[in-house]
A and B are shown apart, each in its own frame.
Chain A
Amino acid sequence: MSLIVRRIGPACTIQDQGREGYLDQGLSRSGAADLRALYEGAALLRQKPDLAALEMAGMGGEFEAVSPVRIALTGAPMQASIDGSPVAWNASHALAKGQRLSIGAVLKGGYGYLHLGGGIASEPFLGSRSAHLAARVGRAVAVGDTLENGPDKGEAGMKIAAEDRFCGGTLRVVASFQTALFDAETLARFEATEFRRGPRANRMGMQMDSDGPGFAAKGQLNILSEVISPGDIQMTGTGNPFILLPECQTTGGYPRIATVLPCDLPRAAQTPPGGAVRFQFVSLDEAVTLHAAWLKDLARLSARVEPLVRDPHDIPDLLSYQLISGVVSAND
């Protein structure tokens, strides 16, 4: 059971939750830029959130079903259709053999996800299927590739009320070990500034622009390279912040002013070019509480899944449906 890739955007990769434990070997975690989307897809298909999906940056592709397969679409909404008929985002659908799923450009946000029932069953490397292009692990999905799925059974035609996280917004951050390299005035200004996502962005990180002076660390620019966590906000030489994402390097010499909490990283990664972002410091205790609440919320996503009721206007040939089959009596 699988999909054949007939057309594909330039930055589509297979992603799961990434690989842990290779930091000391210079290999960062990688994994989906929007972890919440992986959980939403898993909830829709009633499967485990550690399965791999196709992450589509900006642009999707066209996929032909070799055999019947369930799919789900999550993350940044994109134009999607099956054999030319539009289908809902944040929903699961059944593809019959030979049907073509077409996914176009992103409507808002950055990263859309195509999930397969049973997950994408590519060969794992060091315990994960995530590509990490910056580390030369895996490659972008190409025309002619086959996306095999794992064993699967279950229903389709479900939808989930997804959290809107595709327009930027407030990102909660926690102080980290280099925050003290920035003086109080700079930190206050950092928190008061509205940033815009800059044009330079990929899975390694995204630049944030702002009007006015930059946010330089005081003195100590010759700091030793130190460990990087995804979510770190790194200040380059010009004092422009970069939010570091799943393919960030494992260590770096630029000072980091703060770290975006994991619960707000999907919102960060999904911010479109020009999207407005603010940073809000929370205490470490608050951060741990928020983190616990986020994990709890992810674990309960399946409660938000409900049947996808088709709007009659979306059905191209209503008369071809047997709307009354099985009905014995109007008074039953």
Chain B
Amino acid sequence: MTRADPFPLIRTVGLDGALVTFADTMTEPSNRAALAFRGALHEAGWEGVVESSTSLASAYLRFDPLRLSHAEVQARLAALLAERDWYAAPLPSGRKLWRVPTVYGTDLAPQLEDAAAAAGLDVDEAVRRLGKSRVRVLTIGFAPGQPYLGPLAPEFDIPRLQQLTPMVPEGALVCAIRQLIVFAGPTPTGWRHIGQTAFRCFRPGMEPTFALNPGDEMVFEPIERAELEHIRAHNEDGTGGAKVEEIAA
């Protein structure tokens, strides 16, 4: 961060929102800052706040402008920003680590070889590296509960495909631009389909409805196809055989 850098930047959002942006690119520190700052906003519990969220490098606050003025919100946000170096702040507490059984490649995830080649790796090495990559939920969006995960190591900075894959199924693990997504539902995508899980991000009618929270971490551990079939046959809770543990604060 240079001195000419305008970040962190406070801006208004429509009639009833404020946005604190920590960078104009997704970096590990800017995402960390957004998550930590949003955590602090949540803890502050200002009266008149309706909800808050994060995107890749920003924290958003929506409030009732008749109870809490824009000027007051801007002043409070500036004061909170000045309290510490948010780029170095610890992540919020209460985060979880998910270990999700994943079939890499096969006809279930036919773009693994292509992705490995784009990363300059042979398939076995790509699976070895991906299977032990611990990635963070950078943000949730596009579809309910659907995580954008990263950052992966630099070799996985592979571009999106020019041509959309017409449909990948729920639980598909896809890769592009040093990020992973586990799809919440069947969807077309330009990201390469490298793995398949039975993990459901969005579970209407179950508790909790949303499996993940921003800041959670995930590891996609390689399994054989037969194991996934077994998991699918016993997947009433939608976790897809995932093991979950608390991350110590």
Contact = CB atoms under 8 A, between A and B. Distances in A.
A291 interface: yes
A16 interface: no
Interface in A198-240: 223-227, 229, 231-232
Given A176-B14, A259-B15, A22 B144 contact: yes
A135 B17 contact: no
Interface string A223-262: 1111101011000000000000000011100000001011
Contacts of A232: 14
A231 B26 CA distance: 26
A251 B141 contact: yes
Contact of A229 (B17, B52, B145): B17
Contacts of B140: 24-26
A26 B143 contact: yes
Contacts of A177: 11-13, 19, 21
A245 to B, nearest CB: 14
Nearest to A132: B144
Nearest to B212: A25
Contact of B55 (A135, A175, A251): A251
A288 B24 contact: no
A137 B205 CA distance: 10
B73 to A, nearest CB: 11
B13 to A, nearest CB: 5
A126 B209 contact: yes
A327 B210 CA distance: 66
A261 B52 CA distance: 20
A58 B58 CA distance: 39
B210 A25 contact: yes
B115 interface: no
A22 B26 CA distance: 23
Interface in B27-81: 38, 50-58, 60, 62, 65-66, 69-70
Contact of A249 (B16, B60, B142, B213): B142
A135 B144 contact: yes
Given A177-B13, A231-B14, A251 B144 contact: no
The 7 A-B residue pairs whose C-beta atoms are closest, nearest first, are A259-B14, A177-B11, A24-B53, A26-B141, A27-B144, A23-B53, A227-B60
11 contacts: A20-B51, A22-B144, A24-B53, A27-B144, A27-B145, A174-B14, A231-B14, A251-B141, A259-B13, A291-B66, A295-B66
